[in-house]
């Protein structure tokens, strides 16, 4: 049985709890949320993981879970993941886009080394991460990511100040540049670009184009990679989470799969 603590109980966290509530091999012990979200989190957790305690931090008194999974956003890595790694707690991270912050990836790795444990970056809304990471071994020349989402998915981002998103009638490029800049400007939308960068050429050498497209009702991810291994192209059309159109439902499924791989007798 895998004892799990989780940081975050928003759309992703609730989705994970819902899908795993009947899995006898995964038990949630603690769900960590900010003080302002405690009442709502207690209500949600009581229905989905009734044995879990809701807290504002993972304290020493909670013991050491087998795993801490982050589903809370970029701020949670410094506040919760780094200290947990230093305590020797293995961690899974959804908010890979946070690694665009200079030095954060190094701090995570150093904390994991000090704790004698490991931090796993989850694939989230994109596939072929195994193929891309394997291709890097042989030598990658280029990785280009194009993200296409409905205009509403870009609200509350810098695109809203540059374009009238509700009035768009055709596909519009809202950003073009490196993955590092994309992750900085669009942190809630560019985790895919950051994940591809970590697996491939890095944040400064992965090219990104982001589009607001009124002609789609899905989150469309296209990856093109070339190198000594040959080349591949991948297009994925992910349904957005009903509770958060900035996030693909596949992100939730990737967390559930990763936890299942840790807890079940067979993994893939």
- Select from 105, 121, 137 the last residue of a domain: 121
Catalytic residue among 3, 205, 221, 222: 221
For residue 114, being part of any structural domain is answered with yes
pLDDT classification of 222: cutoffs 50, 70, 90: very high
Domain enclosing residue 63, as ranges: 2-121
> Both 116 and 161 in a single domain?
no
> Both 107 and 194 in a single domain?
no
Asked whether the predicted pLDDT for residue 188 surpasses 90, the reply is no
> Both 52 and 91 in a single domain?
yes
Report whether 12 contacts 241 (CB < 8 A): yes
For residue 167, being part of any structural domain is answered with yes
For residue 255, being part of any structural domain is answered with no
pLDDT tens by residue, 66-106 = 999 999 988 899 999 999 999 999 999 999 988 888 899 99
Report whether 238 contacts 208 (CB < 8 A): no
Q: Is 221 a catalytic residue?
A: yes
Report whether 145 contacts 124 (CB < 8 A): no
- Select from 121, 150, 165 the last residue of a domain: 121
For residue 257, being part of any structural domain is answered with no
CA-closest candidate to residue 227, choices 207, 201, 203, 250: 201
Annotated binding residues for NAD(+), written as ranges, equal 125, 191
For residue 259, being part of any structural domain is answered with no
Q: pTM for the whole thing?
A: 0.87
Asked whether the predicted pLDDT for residue 25 surpasses 70, the reply is yes
- Select from 72, 99, 121 the last residue of a domain: 121
> Both 156 and 180 in a single domain?
yes
Whether the CA torsion 219, 209, 134, 72 is positive or negative: it is: negative
> Both 198 and 180 in a single domain?
yes
pLDDT classification of 239: cutoffs 50, 70, 90: confident
CA-closest candidate to residue 48, choices 67, 26, 77: 26
- Give the number of domains in the chain: 2
> Both 216 and 191 in a single domain?
yes
**CATH of residue 78:** 3.40.50.720
CA distance linking residue 221 with residue 233, whole number of Å: 11
For residue 44, being part of any structural domain is answered with yes
For residue 47, being part of any structural domain is answered with yes
> Both 185 and 99 in a single domain?
no
For residue 105, being part of any structural domain is answered with yes
End-to-end CA, the chain = 18
């Amino acid at each position: 049985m895998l004892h799990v603590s989780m940081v975050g109980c928003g759309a992703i966290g609730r989705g994970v709890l819902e899908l795993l509530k009947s899995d006898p091999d995964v038990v949630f012990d603690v769900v960590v949320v900010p003080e302002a979200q405690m009442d709502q989190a207690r209500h949600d957790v009581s229905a989905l993981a009734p044995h879990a305690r809701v807290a504002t931090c993972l304290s020493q008194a909670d013991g050491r879970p087998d795993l801490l999974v982050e589903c809370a956003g970029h701020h949670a890595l410094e506040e919760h993941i780094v200290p947990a790694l230093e305590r020797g707690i293995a961690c899974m991270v959804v908010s890979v886009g946070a690694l665009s912050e200079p030095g954060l990836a190094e701090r995570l790795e150093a904390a994991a080394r000090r704790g004698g444990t490991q931090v796993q970056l989850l694939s989230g809304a994109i596939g072929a991460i195994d193929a891309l990471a394997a291709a890097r071994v042989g030598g990658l020349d280029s990785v280009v990511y194009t993200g296409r989402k409905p205009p509403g998915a870009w609200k509350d981002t810098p695109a809203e100040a540059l374009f009238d998103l509700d009035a768009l009638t055709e596909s519009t490029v809202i950003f073009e540049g490196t993955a590092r800049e994309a992750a900085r400007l669009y942190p809630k939308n560019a985790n895919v670009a950051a994940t591809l960068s970590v697996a491939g050429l890095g944040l400064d050498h992965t090219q990104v184009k982001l589009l607001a497209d009124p002609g789609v009702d899905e989150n469309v991810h296209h990856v093109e990679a070339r190198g000594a291994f040959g080349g591949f192209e991948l297009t994925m059309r992910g349904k957005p989470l009903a509770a958060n159109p900035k996030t693909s439902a596949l992100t939730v499924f990737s967390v559930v799969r990763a936890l299942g791989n840790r807890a079940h007798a067979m993994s893939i």
